[in-house]
Structure 1
Amino acid sequence: MSVFSALAAASASSQDLSVAQIEEQLQNCPLVASLNEHKRATAPETTSLSSQIFVVLFPGSPAVNALLATLYISGPPNFLLALCPPNIDPSSLSVMVAFAVGGLLGDTLFHLLPEIFLGEDSPDHVSFVMVEPNKNLLLGLGIMVGFFTFVAMDKALRIATGGEGHDHAHGHGPEETKASSTGAEAGGKSGELKQRKGKKGKDSADAVEEKEINPSVKLGGYLNLIADFTHNITDGLALSSSFYASPTIGATTTVAVFFHEIPHEVGDFALLVQSGFSKRKAMGAQFVTAVGAFLGTLIGIAVQEFGGHDAVSDGSLAAGLWGTSLSWGDMLLPFTAGTFLYVGTVAVIPELLETGKDKGAELRKTIVQFLAVAVGAGIMLAISWD
């Protein structure tokens, strides 16, 4: 059977075959078989170090790997809070945030978007891209929904805080620094209170400090907890959808989210302390919000397992959403890409554009930030290349 006759036969019966079944028929063509032999002959015999590490870290099914990844990105960053001083300034994390955002954008552009529109490459055989009417439109719609979901969250928090810029549930750039301006003032008063502690005792100083905290700053702290919980849910959705797409996409997404979680958790911790939380209570609150990541992962697993994917893959091309081969589970990865694009743009670009009066210092700071973005994206590119 030639490739042309196979294509004709597959096209004639495409209404009765799934995409996977059509590709299986194409694999029987002599031309495709020779391409498969060439691909296997030229493929590297040894796996990369990153691949070996990922196999050890994620040895199970997509559901098990997603839960393991959630544990990896939730545990260590929260335990690191014990080493953080309570008076840390969120704006001092700008370089770390730039590095993390570079990783998120790299994961989105090098892994998620190619996977969404082209699918995952196979080491054993060549792959085909089946172009369906309206399929790419729905995938693009999923990306836009993810992006504007975070826009709505950001807007709602700004309205709740009376129009002041507030943490938009992911990044910690100038948006968050402006939001905590009143918190910084409260932190200044807190510094004066620390001097009083030696004279009046710990209990009396804590009581005075509690009275000195601005109510709006306290509200900002609690709203930040809500935003953090919601953002952790989206992280869980991202991990589950990426592992169901492929082990490689899941592993790289875990790396990107992990790099982002460290400055995110430290920044949230600093905001809670500025809002009147003690260090112990702030750490406890961050552990509670980590439950959101597991909740999001479980929701994502449920959507993938019961979202109709098996029915679509076993049925015809028009058995899925709005006459396409897509299932509800297939829409989670585009949603994830949309949220990552929001984080990677809105979280870091305003900070990169802000400049002070000292031109030399700002130039050095900008170079370091851009280098941090490049390093974060370069790690994702290197993993993808291997």
Structure 2
Amino acid sequence: MSLDDVEDRLQECAVVQELNAQRAAARGGHHDDGNLAASSLSQRLFSVLFPGGPAANALLATLYISGPPNFLLALCPPNIDPASLSVMVAFAVGGLMGDTLFHLLPEIFVGEEGGGGGARFVLVEPNRNLLLGVAILVGFMTFVAMDKGLRIATGGSGAHDHAHGPAHPAPRQDEIASSTGVERTQKPGEVRSRGKEGGSKTKTDSAGKDKEISSSVKLGGYLNLIADFTHNITDGLAMAASFYASPTVGATTTVAVFFHEIPHEVGDFALLVQSGFSKRAAMGAQFVTALGALLGTLIGVAVQEFGGGSSGGSSAAKGASLPLDGGLLGTSLTWGDLLLPFTAGTFLYVGTVGVIPELLETEAGGRKAAEVRKTLVQFLAIAAGAGIMLYISWHD
């Protein structure tokens, strides 16, 4: 007997039918009119943006999170300071953490599916939640390993702190000059344009001597592209896993990833320019890495379709078979069911280890009053990002 069969049999129970009637009456009552209006508004918006099935919606979401942030790079000046995006970074942290805590984790462990329906039941089986916790830990540690490997490859954390989250340190003015075709003179504040003659890109130090952009900075730029491509694959996996969990989880995950991608892409763009890329070359490289998200989505859809993942709800509530010898390690879990907890683990890393340390930084010698105001704004942005996720979940 499958869990779908068990659910159908439960709906025949007189007590369950009474609970369903009470829930239907509550939803149609006067006190819930506001909730219904808010819910229908978000559902109408999501239905317009995501009109297809889980696979089609996951591909659409990938286009939403990859396209606009890359096109915005055309408006970014080559010498943009990623630190100026701290408020947007804080908002993205709130969105990512809110999506993880209010949508992903409840869906993983309880099988809360957005939308209507009657009373639902969760069948608890031994060791199932343990495997889900292991998948979350694997996702978290995967990003730890990727971040550590990148730091080792670039010769230390100072070369490139990038874990799909932290904005890159602002390039020094002389480094910006060397990579954008502008030279600094020995006098502070004077800048003159460099001609288009051939030769390697150089920069002038305080003594007026030319030296090539260091090989470690160039290496950091190329390694960034590899890391960005890999991280975008995990974004694609997140899109597939979330839409196969439920339309609401998919939509909120798309929103959270979208607002995270904007400062993330700008930070990568600034690092590539610092590494010697022209603006057009940096934009082209970012577009290529965006294809990693599409690849990840296709992999995720394949795993869900052919790996036994449940669609339209968590296997905790339906879609999996009850016999425990048919799943992973004697549970009802399939490989597709592990994508969502893996995604939650990566989001936990991005929101905590990846980005929050950047928000904790203060400027050396800065005024305390200014730092306090900046911190308050960042906290308000985090609250706004998390509040949007909570609002959608509360009224769903």
Same fold at TM > 0.5: yes
C-alpha separation between the residues in 1 aligned to 2:137 and 2:174? 38
Give the direction of change, closer, same or farther, for the CA distance of 1:277–1:199 in structure 2 (3 Å limit): closer
C-alpha separation between the residues in 1 aligned to 2:193 and 2:22? 80
Q: CA deviation at 1:195?
A: 5.5
Whether the 8 Å contact between 1:186 and 1:212 is mirrored in structure 2 is: no
Whether the 8 Å contact between 1:244 and 1:304 is mirrored in structure 2 is: yes
Which residue matches 2:262? 262
Picking from 176, 182, 191, the partner of 1:187 is: 176
Give the direction of change, closer, same or farther, for the CA distance of 1:205–1:89 in structure 2 (3 Å limit): farther
Give the direction of change, closer, same or farther, for the CA distance of 1:207–1:187 in structure 2 (3 Å limit): closer
C-alpha separation between the residues in 1 aligned to 2:51 and 2:197? 51
Tell me, yes or no, if structure 1 residue 380 matches structure 2 residue 389: yes
1:181-239 deviation line (CA, Å, top 9, x unaligned): 6x665225558934579575233587445963111111000011011101100000000
SS at match of 1:355: coil
After superposition, residues 132-281 of structure 1 pair within 5 angstroms as 132-165=125-158, 166-173=160-167, 176-177=168-169, 186-187=175-176, 193-194=182-183, 201-203=195-197, 207-208=201-202, 212-281=212-281
SS at match of 1:202: coil
Segment drifting more, 118-127 vs 348-357: 348-357
After superposition, residues 43-62 of structure 1 pair within 5 angstroms as 43-44=27-28, 46=37, 47-62=39-54
After superposition, residues 1-386 of structure 1 pair within 5 angstroms as 17-44=1-28, 46=37, 47-121=39-113, 123-165=116-158, 166-173=160-167, 176-177=168-169, 186-187=175-176, 193-194=182-183, 201-203=195-197, 207-208=201-202, 212-309=212-309, 313-314=320-321, 316-356=323-363, 357=365, 358-386=367-395
Which residue matches 2:32? none
Whether the 8 Å contact between 2:183 and 2:194 is mirrored in structure 1 is: no
The one-letter code matched in structure 2 to 1:286 is: Q
The one-letter code matched in structure 2 to 1:33 is: Q
Whether the 8 Å contact between 1:32 and 1:126 is mirrored in structure 2 is: yes
**Percent of aligned pairs with the same amino acid:** 70
1:246-301 deviation line (CA, Å, top 9, x unaligned): 00100000000111111111110010000000000000000000000000000000
C-alpha separation between the residues in 1 aligned to 2:13 and 2:138? 40
SS at match of 2:320: helix
Whether the 8 Å contact between 1:242 and 1:253 is mirrored in structure 2 is: yes
Q: CA deviation at 1:101?
A: 1.1
Give the direction of change, closer, same or farther, for the CA distance of 1:195–1:355 in structure 2 (3 Å limit): closer
Whether the 8 Å contact between 2:179 and 2:277 is mirrored in structure 1 is: no
Q: CA deviation at 1:323?
A: 1.0
Q: What do you get for the CA RMSD once the two structures are aligned?
A: 2.3
Give the direction of change, closer, same or farther, for the CA distance of 1:163–1:200 in structure 2 (3 Å limit): closer
The structure whose residues are more often helix, as a share, is: 1
Segment drifting more, 216-225 vs 115-124: 115-124
- Unaligned regions of 5+ residues in structure 2, if any? 29-35, 186-190, 204-209
Whether the 8 Å contact between 2:104 and 2:344 is mirrored in structure 1 is: yes
The one-letter code matched in structure 2 to 1:73 is: I
> TM-score with structure 1 length normalisation?
0.88
- Unaligned regions of 5+ residues in structure 1, if any? 1-16
Give the direction of change, closer, same or farther, for the CA distance of 1:291–1:130 in structure 2 (3 Å limit): same
Q: CA deviation at 1:353?
A: 2.5
